[in-house]
Every structure is written in structure tokens, then in C-alpha cells.
Structure 1
């Protein structure tokens, strides 16, 4: 007959052996490395190129204070004697103005780096604001339905019936007329973010509403209602994760659209002021001197804007294909 000490030792040994046989939960990095999304990204050369290009543009934009030859926002750093200098490969080019200067002596390369930072921040913030509003209203409309759904969707229909750029211009014009002169330039970026986000949330709301209406009728949601789970927990923990695939694609593609919208508003003169130029403001300034021989003032900011939007759209196209189960 075995002694109690032997039984305890054997039990401990068996428990340790069973513990070593249990599967180890992979880390988050390991799950990402082995995921289908990462495999699709690695096997998609255009997505890799677009991601590298966008990362390079974003990195240089946010490191602009350290790598730019000049601070284009500092009026004391602008020298009129250095105005209208052509790019460095031209016979009249000068260092450190690699891409030339404008009519005020502002270095074009520095203005592009600082302007790209403003365009990226405004585009990202407007998409984030529109996404937050659209997700919230879409979940509420799809989950509760009834008159709440009707009110939210009718407001969205009114916004969709009006041109996107017209709504944005109307909001910026009202804000500009309401604010005192001292605050117009200070609040120019928040006003632009709000003006771009207001007509953009409808797309997210309609997408989430359609998915929420389908998910709300499924058995696991009905079971959660029976055990008296709070509605906001059901929407956040159960319905929202099943709606994120189309939302991720829409947000990526709308990021490029938001940057273009900011550039359009700034080009029309209702966006960023000339002393805080974004890419759209630089293009508007350069357009005035396009036929006077100062082509570099408009060409290089336009190229930068095209590269940003192109890389974002390429990533969005890849993400749409990678998350489509029919194409796997």
C-alpha cells in the first residue's frame, strides 16, 4: 500500500506533466505574424510599396522641425532676397533650397514637409471624428430601429442629398463669419476637421446600421437580451466586432478622400491660412504664378499630394481584397 507522501508526490508529478502538455497561448505578435492578413500583405508588392511610401512621407512630415532647412511658419525666417530661387539642379539654384523658393522666400521643401504634416493630421482627425459619430449612430439605429432609426437615417439622407464640398464650404463660412478675427487662424484646423467630418459620418452609419440589423436578429444577441445584458454591452462587445471589416476598408479609403477635401478647401481659400500652409494652400499660392515661369511652386506640392493619396488608396484596395472572404 502506497504511503500518503508517495501519493502526493505522484499527484504533483502528474499535474506538472499535464501542465507541460497544455498548449501555450501564442503572443499577439505571433498571431499577427501567422495571420492571413499579414500573409496577404507580404505577398502583395503594391501594398508593401504603398505602405513604405506612406510611412516615409509621414515620418519626414512629423520630423520636419528637425530635417527641414527652414521653418516656413516663422515669418522672421523668410528673406525676400531669397525669393523665386529655382530648384538646385537649375543653373540659378542655391543651397539649401533644394526645391527652390516661392515669392516670399519660403523654402518649398520645408513648406511641403510642414504642409504634409498638417494635411495628414487634418485627414486622420476628420476620419476619426466621422468614424466615431458614424459608428455610434449606426449601432443605435440598427439595434433599436423604429423612430430612432428613421430620424438618424433621414438626417443622413439630407446630408447625402447635398454636395460634400458645398456642406464643408458652408460650415467653414459660418464659422469664419462667427469667430473674431483673432481666432480665425488659430481655429482653422479644428474647423476644417469638423467641416470634413460632418458629411462623412453618414457612410459609416449606413454601413454599421446594415450589419447591426442583421446581427441583432441572431440567436446570440437574443440570448444576451434574455439574460438581461445591457444594450450598450451587446452593441459594443457582440455587434460592433462583426461590423469592423467593412468599416476598416471605408475608413482607409476615406482617409485619402479627407486629405483631398482639405486640399480642395484650402485651394478655394476657405481652409488653412497662408501663414500656416497645408498642401492645398501651397498649390493655391503656386497656381497664381504657374504661367510666370515659377512652375516649381505648384508642381512639387502637387506631386506630394498625389503620392499621399495614391499610397492610401493602394492600401485601401489591398485591404478590401484581403478582408473579402470570397477572394480567399
Structure 2
């Protein structure tokens, strides 16, 4: 009886096993989070980008008008200057365009389209580039040669020329009723096609180095399947440069979408993105309606600036030579 009591007392007095910290706790205690907290420009860029994204996706709740609803546009409210002007009117804070479209509403709705197209094109290019880069670096041989030669052909052509060619072929192939409906997927595909090469080349170089290391050779000896080796062993060691490249290319993708829309091969006028708004406003720049082009241009600059600042911080934070 006394032995049992002693055993129970010792079990109660024994220290409890340490619990494994959650992912949020590990992130909070990581060097990356410390670097972010001590980097004022990264905090400013993250807050700015978060504010832009939040207002863009909450646009139906905070804007006075749906700029995509043509029935809601009133021509007698056209060409109203910003609210601080003597001729400004409430609730058109940033004025209206020549069709009576509220500029602030159009900017927020257009920012949502630009952010969605930019992020989706980066994700598509990232998925294709990671897959092909892993296969090229791990398998090698003629597979590597074919993938890299296709990438070299794409790199030998201007980025914007490939995107324009894809959008032009899609516009000529689709019936008129589907052109506007599929405008966003076509833009995503057109931006992603020439973008995957950078990810593939980066992953290929890292995969070729990792494939020669002992842990990969050991996995081969115990007959681990090739796809498991690539996904669970090689890919995690290639993610640092890919994260930096994806962040920087996100801003480039938004600029590419704006460029295509500015050239008239992007989003249609009844579903304007920031590039479409800039193209429309550029026609009235010298007629005194400066607000139609200036405010969408400022919004585009703020988005790309914040993304690039975050990318620069991430590149420095993940570089072991700068620690």
C-alpha cells in the first residue's frame, strides 16, 4: 500500500512533458519575425499593402457606386472634380470620369482585379516552374535539356510581346460573347507563360546541388519514390530563393497586367482594372480632367512600391550572409 502511494506521489511530482509549440508560436519566436519587427520600411509596406487589399476586397461595402454596373452610371454626374474643388460633389471624393463613374469606386474595384490577376498569375507560374525545375534538376539528361531549351526560347523573346501574342490569339479564337467573360483567365495565362522560366531555373540549380547530397542518396538507397524525394527532401531546401522571387514577381505581374490593359488587350472598359482606368484617363489628361488618370496611377504605384519593399526586406532577411 505504501509503495503504491509513494509511486503515485512521485508520478505527481514528476515534471510534465514539454508541449510542442504551435506554428504561430514558432513564427513569433523566429528570426524572420524579429527581422520584420525591426524593419520600419517592411512594416510600413505591409500595412500599406494590407490596407489596399482590405479596401479593395471590401469595395462593395464602402463605395458609393458599383462602377461595373452600367445602369448605375448617370451622365449628368460626369466630369465632376475631386471633393476639395469648388465644383466637387458628395459622395464623389475623387471625382467622376466622362461616364459618371466614381473614380474612388473604380480604383477600389480595379485594385481588386489587379491584385487577383497578379496573385493568380504568380501562383500558376510558381506551380509550373517548381514542377518543371524539380524534374529538370533531379532527373537531368534529355528531360533537363528539353525543359531548359523551351525556357531559353521564352527568355529570348520580350515578356510583353509573348503576353500580347497570347491575348491576341485568344481574342481571335474565342467568340465575342466569351471575350469579356474570359478576359481575366486569359490575362493570368498570358502573364504566367513567360514567368515560369525564372522559377524553373532557380529550382533546377538548387535541385542539382541537393540531389548530390548524402541524405538524397540515402533516400534512393532505401528505394524512396522519386516524387517523394523531390517534394519532401529537395523542395523545402529550395524555397528560400523562390519566396523572394515570387514576392518581387508579384509586383511585376501587377505591372504587366496594367501594361496589357493600358495597351487595350487586357480587361474590358466595363470591367476596368487599374491599367484600363489609366488608359481611359490618359485620353483626357490634357483636357483638364487630370484626376481620371492621376489617382489610378498613384494607386498602382503604391501597390507596386509596397510589394517591392516587402520583397527587398525578405531578400535581406533570408540572406544568411547579412545576419
TM interval, short-chain normalised:
over 0.9
TM-score, normalised relative to structure 1 = 0.97
Pick one of 288, 310, 316 that aligns with 2:283. Answer: 288
How far apart, CA to CA, are the structure 1 residues paired with 2:317 and 2:5?
A: 53
Residue 276 of structure 1 corresponds to 271
Cα 1:7–1:262 change in 2 (3 A) is same
**How far off is 1:9 after superposition?**
4.6
How far apart, CA to CA, are the structure 2 residues paired with 1:36 and 1:307?
A: 28
Does residue 214 (structure 1) correspond to residue 209 (structure 2)? The answer is yes
Q: Aligned to 1:97, what secondary structure does the other structure show?
A: coil
How far apart, CA to CA, are the structure 2 residues paired with 1:74 and 1:10?
A: 78
How far apart, CA to CA, are the structure 1 residues paired with 2:13 and 2:116?
A: 54
Does residue 313 (structure 1) correspond to residue 308 (structure 2)? The answer is yes
How far apart, CA to CA, are the structure 1 residues paired with 2:107 and 2:55?
A: 10
Q: Write the mapping of 1:1-328 to structure 2, written as runs, cut at 5 A.
A: 5-18=1-14, 20=16, 22-328=17-323
Deviations 1:101-130 (A, max 9, x none): 000000000000000000000000000000
Q: Aligned to 2:88, what secondary structure does the other structure show?
A: coil
**How far off is 1:84 after superposition?**
0.5
Q: Runs of 4+ in structure 1 displaced over 6 angstroms? A: none
TM-score, normalised relative to structure 2 = 0.98
How far apart, CA to CA, are the structure 2 residues paired with 1:15 and 1:154?
A: 66
5+ long unaligned stretches in structure 2: none
How far apart, CA to CA, are the structure 2 residues paired with 1:27 and 1:277?
A: 43
Q: Aligned to 1:138, what secondary structure does the other structure show?
A: helix
5+ long unaligned stretches in structure 1: none
How far apart, CA to CA, are the structure 1 residues paired with 2:304 and 2:320?
A: 26
Deviations 1:12-36 (A, max 9, x none): 544554452x333222221111110
How far apart, CA to CA, are the structure 2 residues paired with 1:13 and 1:54?
A: 57
RMSD: 1.1
Q: Aligned to 2:20, what secondary structure does the other structure show?
A: coil
How far apart, CA to CA, are the structure 1 residues paired with 2:129 and 2:12?
A: 51
Deviations 1:73-94 (A, max 9, x none): 0000001000001001111111
Cα 1:227–1:19 change in 2 (3 A) is farther
How far apart, CA to CA, are the structure 2 residues paired with 1:62 and 1:192?
A: 20
Aligned length: 323
